[in-house]
Amino acid sequence: MSIPDLIVDSKLEAVVHPDWVRHTYARRGQSGKDWKIDVSETWVRKSRLGSGGFGTVWLEECQQPALESSPHVRAVKEIRKDPRQKVDYSRELLVIAKFSLPMYVPCFVQSYGWFETTESIYIAMEYMPHGDLKKHLARPLPEDEARTIGMQVLEGLRYMHENGFVHRDLKPQNILVVSPGPDWLVQISDFGISQRLAEEATVTMGQGTMGFMAPEVLGFVKRGSSPFAADIWSLGALLFFVLTNTIFLKDPHRVGEFAQGIEAAADLDNEKLGSIGVSREALNAYAAFSGLPPTIGRPRTMPQGIAGLRYLVRLRTKSPPLSEKGGKVPQSKTRPWRPQRRFRWTHQRHGVRQCQ
């Protein structure tokens, strides 16, 4: 199997020690006598930021970066190689390399490259000192703030789905916070089980996080489900948690009943939304998130989902163009859809102040 160019080009030359890593780069010289100069930088491991089923994330620091564009701190995800399992590590490397391209900023956590040893694969990424969204949800957020978060995540999903990728593990822990509320700036992270799909592909069952897994992933919808539908469900479950600080349809049996057309299975959750005074638009949005339910012919595809989720981007965006059949209009007939934000997203990246 050939390795995509994006993966090959983003690999870093590295000498790995348990406590430090040294990278070497080639830099242009000043004349023909020294036309190429090798420069190096050493990263020292400072602490463990977190760990999970798909790896451990470390905080590393560099006092003197070799390149002007290099940061002084970074997060490094270590994925242990398991010879007993046939794991396609290139899948995550491809996704994070692709969505680190400038055209996808600021929707995704950016990667600085990857390196490996015989025991592990390491992915160097930008460090987010504010951590993940879950750490900021000690109490429910106001609806306006939830809408701000949802709009940004939805844009990231649109990019992924248009390129044939599904995330498959969307949850608060995989949304990193660049700038906390009330004007939230968030980015999608952790592509450990994301996948690029062919047009005829279907949902892979059993992969994801309980509480945010769609009926398709749990095996309650057997046929005719879009492979991208699970991400739309997870976005709805994520925003439900943001608004209520509780899990949407926490009991898998209720998810199964809901998928079979028993709308009453979600009555308690609807009452929860009503009790906190969310708008009618928010309640209607959940009809698009969930399909209410998929058995009655409202699939959670991205174009149809966005059409029902204008609530998220009210007063900030024009709706993405849709054809009469619900699909995308060819690009030659329309301008690309971009959110019209009422505030500027400004932050530091690679030492350069950026505004979107």
| Same structural domain, 196 and 261 | yes
Residue 356 is assigned to a structural domain of this protein: no
Same domain, 304 and 183: yes
Domain count across the chain:
2
User: What pLDDT sits at residue 280?
Assistant: 76
Residues 159 and 194 in one domain: yes
Q: Is 88 a catalytic residue?
A: no
CATH number at residue 215: 1.10.510.10
Residues 276 and 142 in one domain: yes
Same-domain pairing of 101 and 150: no
Quick check: is 30 in a domain? yes
Among 125, 144, 164, where does a domain finish?
Answer: 125
Residue 247 lies in a domain: yes
16 inside domain: yes
Q: Is residue 219 part of a domain?
A: yes
Q: Are residues 277 and 179 in the same domain?
A: yes
Domain boundary among 90, 125, 160: 125
Confirm whether 82 is domain-assigned: yes
Same-domain check for residues 218 and 318: yes
63: domain CATH number is 3.30.200.20
Catalytic one of 9, 132, 169, 183: 169
**Residue 28: its pLDDT value, please?**
87
**Domain, as residue range, for 137:** 133-333
Please list the rounded mean pLDDT of every run of 10 residues in the chain (356 residues).
85 96 91 90 95 85 88 94 79 90 90 95 95 95 92 91 87 94 93 54 56 80 70 88 89 82 75 79 68 41 42 37 36 36 38 40
Same-domain check for residues 30 and 168: no
**DSSP three-state, residue 332:** helix
Tokens of 234: 């997870």
pTM of the model: 0.77
pLDDT confidence of residue 347: 42
* 111/169 same-domain check: no
Domain boundary among 125, 157, 176: 125
E-strand spans in the chain? 14-16, 20-28, 36-52, 55-61, 73-80, 111-116, 120-125, 165-166, 175-179, 185-188, 195-196, 346-349, 352-355
Answer yes or no: do 150 and 268 share one domain: yes
Place of tokens 């992933």: 217
At residue 348, the pLDDT reads: 45
- Residue that the structure tokens 């509480």 belong to: 211
Residue at 343 is within a domain: no
Is 41 found in the same domain as 73?
yes
Q: Are residues 45 and 145 in the same domain?
A: no
Does residue 216 belong to any structural domain of this protein?
yes
